[in-house]
Structures are given as C-alpha cells and as structure tokens.
Chains A and B, each alone.
Chain A
Amino acid sequence: METIIVLVVLAAIAFWIASIYNRLVALKNRYENGFSQIEVQLKRRYDLIPNLVETAKGYMAHERETLEAVINARNQAMAGLQAAAADPGNAGAIKELSGAEGMLGSAMGRLNVVMEAYPDLKANQNMMQLTEELTTTENKVAFSRQGYNDQVTAYNTYRQSFPPTVFANMFGHTDDAELLEFADSEQIQAAPNVSFN
C-alpha cells in the first residue's frame, strides 16, 4: 500500500522536475526565435548601408576615410551577427555583436555629420529613399530588440528563480542569456534622422 502512495508521490515529483526542464527549453526556444526576428532586420540594415555608401561616394570623394570606416564597421557587425545567429545563447557572441553594432553606429553618426556639408547629396532622390528606409529599419531593429530582451529576461528570471535554479545547471542551462544592448543605441536611433532634419 505504502509502495503505491510512494509511487504516486515519486511520479508527481518526477513530473514536476520534468516540467521545469520543459519550461527552460521552451523559454530558450522562444528567445532564440526572437533573435531570428532581429537578424532579419539587421541583415536588411547591413544590405542597405553599402548602397548608401555607394550613392554617397559620387558626391564626397574627399571623405574616403569616413566611408571606409562605415564599410569596415558594417562588415564587422555582419560577421558578429552571423556568429550570434549561430548560437544566440552564447553570451560572448551577443556581446561582440553589441560592440560591433556600437562601432557601426558611431561610424554612421560621423558619416551623417560629414554629409551635412553636401547639400546636393542630401537632395538626391536615391539618397532620400535609402535614408528613409534605413530609418524604418532602425526602428524595427529597436522594436525587435525590445521583444528579444523581454524574452531573454523571462528566461533569465525563470532560470534564477527557486526551484528551477536548483536544476538548471543539471539540465545544461548553466548561463544567463545576454541582453542585446547596443552601446550607442541612442545615437543609432538618432543617426539617420540627423541628415535631413
């Protein structure tokens, strides 16, 4: 008789532990899925930047350095994105992407300041369209980053709460996921706006 009661209790405990495991997996899946949304927007942004530079080149031949800095930063951010997308759970990769994004942001900021001196470029139809699209993409990045960070926070909070924290290490959920913070996010937000205000 006791055996049966013990069995039922054991079963309940086993299920309870299993549900903690499942919840951890589900939350991890969810933030990883959230990252793929950011990835889409960042890729779009990285695709737009070379076009923008190409258009700018024709007008600002003397600003080669600034343009190259933008392209370099863009390439670095692109590599950072690829690494992070392969494993959004890797805090190092996310940090690297944050750093690369920060550099790209400041490079773009400098470009915008320089562009102020070229009214012809600012009036270029193509340029206006590109900047407009870039602005939209920035906003979408910011938005999906917010969504991603919400999901990461949900995962981290659950992982650190009691009792999941007791089992999390055992289940291979050893580290918190990294929030995607862009060092220069304010500047990135503002950057594309500056040029045509």
Chain B
Amino acid sequence: MFGAAIVTLIILTNILVAIAFGFGGQQMGLTFEESIANTPADAWLLITLGVIGVVGTASLYKYLSIRAGGKAIAEALGGHLLHQNAADANQRRLLNVVEEMAIASGVPVPPVYLIAEPSINAFAAGFSPQDAVIGINQGTIDHLDRTELQGVVAHEFSHILNGDTNINLRLIAILHGILFLGIIGYGVLRVGGHSRKNGGAMVALGLGLLVIGFGGTFFGRMIKSAVSRQREYLADASAVQFTRDPSSIADALKKIGGLSVGSTMTSKSAEEASHMFFGAALSKFAGGLMSTHPPLHKRILAIEPGWDGQFPVLKTDPLIARSSDAKPGSAELAHGFAQGGFAQANVDHVSATPDSVIEQVGHPTQDSLAVAQTLIQSTDEMLKNAAHDSYEARGLIYAMLLDKDPSIRVKQLSFLERRAEAQVPQHMTRLIEALDKADRAHLLALIEMSMPALKELSKSQYERFSQNAAELITADDRVDAFEWVMHRLLVQGLYAHFEGPQRHHGKVKSVAKVADDAAKLLSILASHSHDDLDGQLAAYQAGAKELDLAIPFAKQEHFDYQRMNAALANLRKLRPLVKPSIVKACAATVLADNHISVMEGALLQGISATLDCPLPPSIYA
C-alpha cells in the first residue's frame, strides 16, 4: 500500500516538474510543449531518484531513531519509567495489573512508563513483545478503578499480541518520510521567492512539493487512521474476551467521556504517535476521516449495546478519586482471591487439545488471566519482591539456576563468590530456601516477572549477569530441558532490550521446506514428554501428522540443547502465520497421552516463545 503511495508521489512530482519547466520555458519565449520536449530525458530519472532519496532518507532517519523499540517512543513522549519497588498505591496497582496480563499472555512483563498528563490515555509500543513497553497517563491511574484499568491494559496487550505495535512503529517512519517532502517544498518555495532567475519555476515547484507532501501526509494519515480505527475495535473486543467483563473497558471509555480533558495528549510528539493510543490523543481531529480512533460513543455501543449515552460525572479532584480506592492492599487481595477461586473451578487440564492450545496463542482468555492471578498470588512473597528489585532479581535468577545436586551446587556457589557482584551470594541464601519449595510453573512466572527489573541493569551489568547465568547453566557440563527453557525465556526477554530488537521477517512459506528441522524438534519433544518407546512413537506421530511429515522418529536419549536451538533457529525463518502450525504440532505431540505435565508445558512455552507465539501458562499451571 505504501509502495503505491510512493509511486503516486513520484508520478505527481514528475508531472509537477514538467509543469514547472513548461512555465520556465514560456518565460523564455518557448511554447509549453516545446519546453517540455526540450527537457533532457534523464531529468525524469533524476527526479524519481530524488523523490525516493528524500522520502527514503527521511523515513530511514525516523526508523533509526525509533530502532531501540518501545522505550524510544515512551521516552519521546515524556514517559518516566516506573520502578517496580518504588510505587505509591495507585502505581503499584497498575504494575500488578500489567504483570497479571503479561503472565496470562505468556509474554515477558513489559516495563511501564508513566506520563505526567491528567487525561485518561494509554499506549503500547514496540516491535515485538520482547521490546514492548506500556505507557499510561497519570490521569488513567487517578480516575480508573482496578477493573477499568484492567480493561485498558488488556486493550493494550491485544495491540502487542496482534502485532499492531510493530505496524504502528513502521507507519510512523513512513509517514515521516512523506511529510518531509512537504517540508522540502516549503524550503524551495522560500528560496524560489527570493531568487530572480527561474523564480517562478521554483515557486511553482516548491508549491507543488508542498501540496504533494502535505497531500501525501493527509492521505497517509487517512490510511493510518482507517487501519487504526479498525484495530481499536478489535482491541476493545479482545479486552472484553480477556477480562470477560464488557463493563471494564466500557466504563473506562465512559470516564474518558466524563472527564473534561478526556484523552487528549499535550506532548508535541503525541501527534505522530496518535494512532498508538488507547483513546483519541488529538482533540482537533476528533471527527471524520482523520480521526485515529472511532468516536467514543460508537466504541462504547459496540461493547455495551444498551448504553444510555450518559457519561459519568467524575470527581474532579484526583485526591477524592484516590481516596475511594483506599486500602488498595486489602482490595487487591480480596480481588485476587475471588479470581483465584474462580480459576480453580474453570481450568480443566484434561480437556486441552492441540486446537484449544493453538487458540490461546496470542488470544489469552479470562481463564488465562485467572490462572495467572492464582500463580502470582501463590508465589512466595519474598521471591516476588526479589523479582521486582533489580538488585535482587539477579540473585533470584542465579539461585534458580543452581543445581539440585549438592556437589555441583557448591561448585556453582563458589563460582558466584568469585564472579557475581558484591554481596549477591549472601542475598541468595534466603532465596534458595524459598525457591527449593517453589514448583516449576512458579519459576517460569518469576522469570517473566523479573524482566522489568532486569531491564534496568546497565549494559555492563547486563553483560556480567548474562555471562554468569550461562556459566551456571553449564556448570554440570550438560543442559537439561528445564534449564534450556529458563535460558530461552531469559534470552528472549532481555536480548531485544539490550542489543536492539531482533528483526526476523520469516520468508519461508511452508513447513515442507524446513521439514527436517520440524522432525528434529518433534523427536526431541516426544523423547522428553513420554517414558516408553511406544508412547514416544505415538506422540511423535501425532505431531508429525499435523505437519504431514514423512520423516521417521529419531529417539533422543539425552536432551541436546544445541540440536534444539539449531532446529528452532531454522523454524524461526517461517512466516509468522505458519509458525502457529509448528506450535500446534508440538501441542499434539505433548498431548498424545491426553496429559500435559508442568515440564511438558514448560518445554512448550520455551518453544512457542522462541517462535514468537506466546503461550499462556494456563495450559499447564
């Protein structure tokens, strides 16, 4: 679509230059046709290259400036990173809600940025779930209660999981390129106005570029808005599915209507990012083709058909709004427990099928949320606090990687004494005791929970941390399946943040081209999810059937992480829409005996995370 837009721009510019030459020629006494005929042929080529050059340079510049991913956008919008350990009650509640949603979706918990605006708005930005961040206005946490906040956060997660945030970032870069053509036109116009020779032609050229540039932007924004409006409806719908409570998002939208500042953003950068927000960020484009969001009342009616059209009257004083949420601690607990009970009643492990697993990729439901809440609630308080503190989070991860075998553990601990940061081993003593009691589902959740804290490390601290973690994993000269999963989740979550988002636009269209690797993966999975050879064979065949693989089962005696990584590296080259079929085959393999253990679930999560198909823990936890 944008290729077409650029081609149109090039044609328009060429016509424009032709007209400019025509007028220039007329001033010299030639007729319009003669002067066009006199224009050298390679001029058109140059003009075409020029347009591509200018639009390309401008887009590239914008792209490079947001290359760091979500955090770059959040910082440009004036967001301040919320520290996990230093939050007032409202901020703490927000962080809890985000954490629950992330665990429920099976993605690393994203860092949360707070924007000092009194209006109700939020955004998600990032190229992938790994570098995604969530931005929330101060007004949002002041005016919304927990359920409404949940609706808003679920809406933003839907953008992240559906890949909308990725598209949005690209749109920003491309639109910037087109807009820049207009700015050049403005420059030419000014220069042309002052010069005598060819002044008329220059003015015409400048004016034309200006029209093309701003016209291009206008149409670009219209496209962007059309795309965005549709996605807003979808995200609202997903939020309802996620929270199974239409009122959560509807009430939040109504409060935007009831608040005098609504969802307006005052930051300058908000305009180019207007399509990323929860509510319309620009009040001046509130209606018509240019609006990035559907009208508020339409969005509300889409969720709540019987709505009477009345916006609530908000207590204008944020302090009053805050005091109505008094004692968030106890409310939190009560809420969590209520949800927890609900979860237990709803989750039925045996009924899981490959289809039901695949349905949950990128589409977490109320059940996933309930399971995530129970998982978080039942995690040891001290471990949770450690995961939220960037100092202790490292110790927590180190402690998780310690071996069960006491002799290896001694070796690992002495390694940490030498290599870990000062005092970290001392802090680990308490953590180790608690961790020995925790089960694997909790360990995986703790890894996701510690992501925001770990992302606060400086680059050199991160490098030391990741080296130490790798050292601990290989201390016993072998990598077992669970260690592999933990390592995958860590790498997957942190790499994008410290080394820049990974770009892997899969080009391979069909599984047939990577059949060997798919067979390798399923063989490994079958060998480690079933005990007897018959079971393994049946499991492999169940998976292979999903992918129409004709390659025989190759039993793996030991977990070979290098073989696993190599197979996955090739499978990552598949197109995004094909990847879920691999996850589905893996699910079929694991579920061949109609049972899914935590270890199998963990492997499944490690595989699906690597393939960028986040899987909620509700399938095994």
**Could you tell me the distance between the alpha carbons of A146 and B404 in the complex, rounded to whole angstroms?**
32
Interface residues of B in 443-480 (CB under 8 A from A): 456-461
Please tell me if the beta carbons of B391 and A140 are within 8 angstroms of each other in the complex. Answer: yes
Indicate which residue in A8, A22, A40, A148 contacts B57 across the interface (CB closer than 8 Å): A8
Residue A147 lies at the interface, judged by CB distance under 8 Å to chain B: yes
Please tell me if the beta carbons of B61 and A147 are within 8 angstroms of each other in the complex. Answer: no
Binary B-proximity of A6-30 (CB < 8 A = 1, otherwise 0): 0110011001001100100010011
Binary B-proximity of A45-63 (CB < 8 A = 1, otherwise 0): 0000000000000000000
Interface stretch (choices A31-39, A76-84, A87-95, A110-118):
A31-39
Known pairs A26-B75, A146-B461; A5 contacts B46 (CB<8 A): yes
Which residue of A has the minimal Cβ distance to B82?
A36
Residue B389 lies at the interface, judged by CB distance under 8 Å to chain A: yes
Please tell me if the beta carbons of B422 and A29 are within 8 angstroms of each other in the complex. Answer: no
Residue A161 lies at the interface, judged by CB distance under 8 Å to chain B: no
Indicate which residue in B57, B64, B75 contacts A29 across the interface (CB closer than 8 Å): B75
With A29-B75, A150-B458 already in contact, 14 other A-B pairs whose C-beta atoms are closer than 8 Å: A1-B43, A7-B50, A8-B57, A15-B61, A18-B61, A26-B72, A139-B427, A140-B391, A143-B390, A143-B391, A146-B458, A147-B390, A147-B461, A189-B422
Residue A156 lies at the interface, judged by CB distance under 8 Å to chain B: no
Indicate which residue in B54, B80, B85, B421 contacts A11 across the interface (CB closer than 8 Å): B54
CB distance from A69 to the nearest CB of B (A): 27
CB distance from A50 to the nearest CB of B (A): 19
| B interface, over-half SS | helix
Residue B83 lies at the interface, judged by CB distance under 8 Å to chain A: yes
Please tell me if the beta carbons of A1 and B46 are within 8 angstroms of each other in the complex. Answer: yes
Residue B53 lies at the interface, judged by CB distance under 8 Å to chain A: yes
Please tell me if the beta carbons of B57 and A19 are within 8 angstroms of each other in the complex. Answer: no
User: What is the interface of chain A, defined by CB distance below 8 A to chain B?
Assistant: 1, 3-5, 7-8, 11-12, 15, 18-19, 22, 26, 29-30, 33-34, 36-37, 40, 135-136, 139-140, 142-144, 146-148, 150-151, 154, 189
Residue B81 lies at the interface, judged by CB distance under 8 Å to chain A: yes
Residue B324 lies at the interface, judged by CB distance under 8 Å to chain A: no
Residue B577 lies at the interface, judged by CB distance under 8 Å to chain A: no
Please tell me if the beta carbons of A140 and B83 are within 8 angstroms of each other in the complex. Answer: no
Known pairs A19-B61, A19-B64; A8 contacts B50 (CB<8 A): yes
Indicate which residue in A37, A143, A150 contacts B460 across the interface (CB closer than 8 Å): A150
Q: Closest 4 CB pairs between A and B?
A: A150-B458, A4-B50, A15-B61, A147-B458
Q: Give 14 CB contacts A-B under 8 Å.
A: A5-B50, A7-B188, A8-B54, A11-B180, A18-B61, A19-B61, A26-B72, A33-B81, A36-B86, A40-B83, A140-B391, A147-B457, A147-B461, A150-B458
Please tell me if the beta carbons of A40 and B46 are within 8 angstroms of each other in the complex. Answer: no
Residue B321 lies at the interface, judged by CB distance under 8 Å to chain A: no
Known pairs A4-B47, A8-B50, A8-B54; A139 contacts B458 (CB<8 A): no
Indicate which residue in A4, A40, A143, A148 contacts B421 across the interface (CB closer than 8 Å): A143
Indicate which residue in B47, B61, B86, B457 contacts A40 across the interface (CB closer than 8 Å): B86
Indicate which residue in B61, B391, B459 contacts A144 across the interface (CB closer than 8 Å): B391
Binary A-proximity of B47-89 (CB < 8 A = 1, otherwise 0): 1001001100110110011001000100100001101011000
CB distance from B414 to the nearest CB of A (A): 20
**Could you tell me the distance between the alpha carbons of A148 and B457 in the complex, rounded to whole angstroms?**
9
**Could you tell me the distance between the alpha carbons of A62 and B53 in the complex, rounded to whole angstroms?**
80
Please tell me if the beta carbons of B390 and A37 are within 8 angstroms of each other in the complex. Answer: yes
Which residue of B has the minimal Cβ distance to A149?
B458
Please tell me if the beta carbons of A15 and B422 are within 8 angstroms of each other in the complex. Answer: no
Interface residues of B in 417-461 (CB under 8 A from A): 421-423, 427, 456-461
CB distance from B234 to the nearest CB of A (A): 32
Please tell me if the beta carbons of A11 and B184 are within 8 angstroms of each other in the complex. Answer: yes
**Could you tell me the distance between the alpha carbons of A136 and B61 in the complex, rounded to whole angstroms?**
44
Interface residues of B in 18-59 (CB under 8 A from A): 43, 46-47, 50, 53-54, 57-58
**Could you tell me the distance between the alpha carbons of A15 and B80 in the complex, rounded to whole angstroms?**
26
Which residue of B has the minimal Cβ distance to A138?
B423
CB distance from A61 to the nearest CB of B (A): 33
Q: Enumerate chain B residues within 8 angstroms of A144, measured Cβ to Cβ.
A: 390-391
Please tell me if the beta carbons of B57 and A12 are within 8 angstroms of each other in the complex. Answer: yes
Q: Enumerate chain A residues within 8 angstroms of B61, measured Cβ to Cβ.
A: 15, 18-19
Please tell me if the beta carbons of B423 and A139 are within 8 angstroms of each other in the complex. Answer: yes
Known pairs A29-B75, A144-B390; A37 contacts B83 (CB<8 A): yes
Which residue of B has the minimal Cβ distance to A33?
B81
Q: Enumerate chain A residues within 8 angstroms of B47, measured Cβ to Cβ.
A: 4
Q: Enumerate chain B residues within 8 angstroms of A15, measured Cβ to Cβ.
A: 57-58, 60-61
Indicate which residue in B57, B80, B85, B184 contacts A33 across the interface (CB closer than 8 Å): B80
Interface centre among B43, B47, B80, B391 (most CB of A within 10 A): B391
Q: Enumerate chain A residues within 8 angstroms of B184, measured Cβ to Cβ.
A: 7, 11
Q: Enumerate chain A residues within 8 angstroms of B58, measured Cβ to Cβ.
A: 11, 15
**Could you tell me the distance between the alpha carbons of A154 and B458 in the complex, rounded to whole angstroms?**
10
Interface residues of B in 366-407 (CB under 8 A from A): 389-391
Which residue of B has the minimal Cβ distance to A15?
B61
Which residue of B has the minimal Cβ distance to A3?
B188
Known pairs A26-B72, A26-B75, A143-B421; A34 contacts B458 (CB<8 A): yes
Which residue of A has the minimal Cβ distance to B198?
A3
Please tell me if the beta carbons of B53 and A142 are within 8 angstroms of each other in the complex. Answer: no
Q: Enumerate chain A residues within 8 angstroms of B68, measured Cβ to Cβ.
A: 26
Please tell me if the beta carbons of A4 and B46 are within 8 angstroms of each other in the complex. Answer: yes
CB distance from A83 to the nearest CB of B (A): 19
**Could you tell me the distance between the alpha carbons of A29 and B113 in the complex, rounded to whole angstroms?**
13
**Could you tell me the distance between the alpha carbons of A11 and B65 in the complex, rounded to whole angstroms?**
15
CB distance from B375 to the nearest CB of A (A): 27
Please tell me if the beta carbons of A11 and B83 are within 8 angstroms of each other in the complex. Answer: no
